[in-house]
């Protein structure tokens, strides 16, 4: 699929970032020739030798305060900083067009760190724009972290702000029904309040929220960044000030990413553009096919004109992505039967891997969401993988027809 919006418009130089496809391959690896290796080393040490008490103490103070390791010091301890994880962070920061990135043990650990960092500055109020991932929605609605949430539509964000508002949180495309939010418009309504955008569905291949005014760009790196369903992780791309605030939260709460996970994620990023574009092309075919299926009542996909009335695909996003949602005729029972009847497509939560997954959001990822905001029971979410889309259509057709007969 050809990108409608070029993600890089400048020619790369030694001092300028490369275009997306090049950055995915080389970011976080540019010192390898100097090191005399072709792939990054995997640094597994939990503790590191100290050059002396004075420099060791200075290193600890710098890292515990959210800074980076001093050149003549030590990494001290893996909970504070790890060079393998840092390579992955550098890659994500470059791909998102941000100054720095901070990796975490899961996407929810990343969201939690952002909320705690805001609250520690006396900003315990959050404005949330639904739909959000069920875990994010749940942690906001529960008040578990001592935050208070006001829910608002994108156009009403400014009215929901208070003096103690620390964050505005949006997800676009939204989980699970792929609603799009105009990031620049919301950022303008935020004023001085930082805007956090969950960019998990789009990835930096298709959308870079920082270019549209977002302060914090969050990923469940478990999904597309890892891409193979074998790593649990989260990451926040942001400016230097916020990164410095997030690192101490990570260290103190223990939400650190294991270096092996950082290594696998850094490797996964190399193929991210290829995977996302191929999966998006297949998703477009499936979405178009589903719109004509007699057992499907409605299809949610940003590549369909009716799902993108503001024309954000081509302006904010360079493509519609690889997640499709649809409503099955017959309600929740028919939707559940369809998911159960799939054979090639795996019935499982999560998304963004090389194989296609189907799940029932109302029963699973969005089960903790309050009933008034929970997805309709007839909705299924499909994460399209790298299989031939004709095979996926055949499997879905069998499942939909079997559910209809049942």
Instruction: Produce one character per residue of 291-305: b if its CB has 16 or more CB atoms within 10 Å, e if not.
Output: eebebbbbbbbbbbe
Which CA distances in Å does 238 have to 106, 173, 174, 220? 17, 19, 20, 15
CATH topology of domain 272-405: 3.90.1150
pLDDT at 14 over 90: no
pLDDT at 15 over 60: no
123 is known as an active-site residue: no
Higher per-residue confidence, 294 vs 71: 294
pLDDT at 365 over 90: no
Judge whether 404 and 336 are in contact, CB under 8 Å. no
User: What mean pLDDT is predicted for residues 152-180?
Assistant: 98
Own/partner contacts of 280-284, CB < 8 Å, gap of 24 or more, are 280/1, 280/206, 280/319, 280/320, 280/321, 280/322, 280/384, 281/1, 282/322, 282/384, 282/385, 282/386, 282/387, 282/389, 282/392, 283/320, 283/321, 283/322, 283/323, 283/324, 283/382, 283/384, 284/1, 284/320
223 is known as an active-site residue: yes
pLDDT at 99 over 70: yes
* Catalytic, out of 29, 123, 208, 223: 223
pLDDT at 6 over 70: no
pLDDT at 116 over 50: yes
Q: Which residue has the tokens 């400014």?
A: 158
**Is the CATH number 1.10.8.100 carried by domain 96-269?**
no
pLDDT at 1 over 60: no
Judge whether 289 and 295 are in contact, CB under 8 Å. no
* Catalytic, out of 198, 245, 284, 374: 198
User: What mean pLDDT is predicted for residues 347-352?
Assistant: 97
User: What mean pLDDT is predicted for residues 173-189?
Assistant: 97
Q: What is the per-residue pLDDT for 333?
A: 95
Domain parsing of the chain, residue ranges? 96-269, 272-405
The residues, ordered by sequence, that sit 6+ positions from 30 with a Cβ below 8 Å of its Cβ are none
Question: What is the rounded CA–CA span in Å between residue 282 and residue 72?
Answer: 50
User: What mean pLDDT is predicted for residues 85-99?
Assistant: 98
Confidence of residue 375 (pLDDT cuts 50, 70, 90): confident
Confidence of residue 13 (pLDDT cuts 50, 70, 90): very low
Question: What is the rounded CA–CA span in Å between residue 404 and residue 382?
Answer: 19
The token duo for 240 is 């230097």
From the list 131, 149, 132, the residue with the least C-alpha distance to 140 is: 149
Confidence of residue 5 (pLDDT cuts 50, 70, 90): very low
* Catalytic, out of 8, 19, 55, 79: 79
pLDDT at 114 over 70: yes
pLDDT at 3 over 60: no
Q: What is the per-residue pLDDT for 16?
A: 59
Confidence of residue 4 (pLDDT cuts 50, 70, 90): very low
Q: Which residue has the tokens 């964000």?
A: 157
Confidence of residue 368 (pLDDT cuts 50, 70, 90): confident
* Catalytic, out of 119, 130, 133, 224: 133
Mean pLDDT of the chain: 94
pLDDT at 146 over 60: yes
Q: What is the per-residue pLDDT for 160?
A: 98
198 is known as an active-site residue: yes
Q: What is the per-residue pLDDT for 406?
A: 75
- For the stretch 293-346, pLDDT in tens is 999 999 999 999 999 999 999 999 999 999 999 999 999 999 999 999 999 999
Judge whether 113 and 136 are in contact, CB under 8 Å. no
């Amino acid at each position: 699929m050809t990108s409608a919006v070029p993600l890089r418009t400048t020619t790369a130089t030694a001092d300028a970032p490369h275009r997306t496809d090049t950055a995915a391959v080389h970011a976080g690896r540019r010192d390898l020739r100097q090191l005399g290796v072709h792939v990054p080393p995997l640094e597994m040490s939990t503790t590191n030798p100290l050059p002396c008490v004075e420099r060791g103490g200075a290193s600890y103070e710098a890292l515990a305060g959210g800074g980076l390791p001093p050149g003549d010091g030590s990494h001290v301890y893996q909970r504070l900083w790890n060079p393998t994880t840092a390579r992955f962070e550098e890659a994500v920061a470059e791909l998102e067009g941000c100054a720095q990135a901070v990796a975490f043990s899961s996407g929810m650990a990343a969201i939690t760190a952002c909320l705690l960092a805001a609250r520690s500055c006396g900003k315990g109020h959050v404005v949330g724009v639904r739909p959000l991932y069920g875990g994010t929605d749940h942690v906001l609605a529960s008040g578990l972290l001592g935050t208070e949430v006001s829910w608002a539509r994108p156009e009403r964000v400014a009215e929901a702000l208070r003096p103690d508002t620390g964050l505005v949180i949006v997800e676009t495309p939204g989980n699970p029904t792929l609603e799009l939010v105009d990031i620049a418009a919301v950022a303008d309504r935020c004023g001085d309040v930082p805007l956090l955008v969950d960019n998990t569905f789009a990835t930096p291949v298709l959308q870079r929220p920082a270019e549209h005014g977002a302060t914090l760009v969050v990923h469940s790196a478990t999904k597309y960044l890892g891409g193979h369903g074998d790593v649990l992780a989260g990451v926040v791309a942001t400016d230097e000030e916020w990164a410095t605030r997030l690192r101490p939260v990570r260290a103190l709460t223990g939400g650190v990413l294991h270096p092996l996970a950082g290594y696998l994620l850094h490797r996964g990023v190399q193929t991210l553009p290829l995977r996302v574009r191929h999966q998006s092309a297949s998703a477009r075919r499936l979405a178009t096919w589903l719109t004509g299926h007699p057992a499907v009542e409605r299809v949610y996909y940003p590549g369909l004109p009716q799902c993108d009335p503001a024309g954000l695909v081509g302006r904010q996003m360079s493509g519609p992505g690889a997640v499709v949602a649809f409503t099955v005729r017959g309600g929740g029972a028919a939707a559940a039967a369809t998911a159960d009847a799939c054979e090639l497509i795996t019935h499982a939560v999560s998304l963004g891997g090389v194989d296609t997954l189907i799940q029932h959001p109302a029963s699973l990822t969005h089960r903790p969401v309050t009933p008034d905001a929970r997805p309709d029971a007839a909705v299924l979410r499909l994460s399209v993988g790298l299989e031939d889309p004709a095979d996926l259509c055949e499997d879905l057709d069998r499942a939909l027809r079997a559910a209809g007969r049942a």
